[in-house]
Amino acid sequence: MNLQECYTLLGITETATSEEIARAYKAMAMKYHPDKNRERIEWATTMMSNLNISYTTIMGSRFNDESSLNSQPDSEDTETNHTSRDQRREKADPVQEREPSFSEEIHRQILIKKFIRNREAAKDYLYRYFQYSLHNFARRDNPMNRSVFNEIVYSLRKFYHAINALARQTLDPELTEHFATFTQMIFTFYKASECINILDSYNNIVEVEAYRLYKKGDESLHVAHREVFYDRHNRGYFKQDFATAYLMKAKEDFQRTLRSFPDSTWAVETKIKLEYVLALLRYLDLFFNE
């Protein structure tokens, strides 16, 4: 399904706001939900999957669209008052095997400095996401909280594109690995945050069991990434083994959901959440393990 087909399926245009897209998706999801179409469950399940794919494709495409950003943060215009809460713990300066020339080393250090600044600012916005409990869709729908969420998304997009721009300025494999790992984590975090749960009576036992297993994985994921981006900063130290254990639980439950219920309406959300879990595991392994 291409992007234009996704817009057409949701009955919206490319000029629609994020809120209009979400409203269109919710309205159509309630209309085509399997519980609303029990006489043709298979058709309704396919429609729900297509709606989920359309919504996540559109929102992911918008996040990746650099042209809609007014400016790009760099070493000078990125917020400089963000100080790392755990900068000593994270590996900010990967070691390069080949001895670089003086000019190469200067360029490398400039890229590292820019990356650290963008990375720390992005993490502050991830902290705000949990500070305002924006994982809770009921809270997010509050106009004030929706404004905060939109600000977080816009800021994460800026830092995401700024770090991608840094990656285009180097062939250093260790730097590009750090840049790619962090931006992949941000992108998959955003996609996971946009998974809107449409719940109904769920008389279909297959959907009930699929949702229960998906929800179990989602709860483990929430515990883990809340620890990574929020709780540890408030506590003053990081329970890395704790976070990793919950991520592994989430990974197992999401994989079981896809194996057991590949045709469920929850398959799309499960794939997105699993992708985020894997990206977060890579992020922890690279940035927190010496």
CA-atom Rg of the chain in angstroms:
20
Cα(192)–Cα(172) distance, integer angstroms:
30
CB 288 within 8 A of CB 255: no
SS3 (DSSP) at 127: helix
Angle at Cα 86 formed by Cα 82 and Cα 88, nearest 5°? 110
Cα(222)–Cα(225) distance, integer angstroms:
6
- pLDDT tens, 8-21? 999 999 999 988 99
The domains located in the chain, with CATH, are 1-64 (1.10.287.110), 70-93+100-190 (no CATH), 198-290 (1.20.58)
pLDDT, position 87:
44
Closest among 281, 234, 219, 221 to 128, alpha carbons compared? 234
Residue 80 φ/ψ, nearest 5 degrees: -100, -5
On the CB side of 160, CA atoms within 13 Å amount to: 23
Closest among 65, 66, 51 to 1, alpha carbons compared? 51
Per-residue pLDDT in tens (0 to 9) along the chain, 290 residues: 899 999 999 999 999 998 899 889 989 988 888 778 878 888 888 898 899 999 999 999 999 998 877 644 443 444 434 434 444 345 445 544 556 677 889 999 999 999 999 999 999 999 999 999 999 988 888 889 999 999 999 999 999 999 999 999 999 999 999 999 999 999 999 999 998 766 555 567 888 899 999 999 999 999 999 999 999 999 999 999 999 999 999 999 999 999 999 988 899 999 999 999 999 999 999 999 85
- pLDDT tens, 93-149? 554 455 667 788 999 999 999 999 999 999 999 999 999 999 998 888 888 999 999
Residue 143 φ/ψ, nearest 5 degrees: -55, -40
pLDDT, position 58:
94
Residue 231 CB-density burial (10 A; 0-12 exposed, 13-18 middle, 19+ buried): middle
Find the Cα–Cα–Cα–Cα dihedral 132, 137, 139, 141, rounded to 10°: 120
**What DSSP designation does 8 have?**
H
Find the Cα–Cα–Cα–Cα dihedral 82, 86, 88, 93, rounded to 10°: -70
Token pair belonging to 144: 């004030």
pLDDT, position 66:
87
pLDDT, position 290:
54
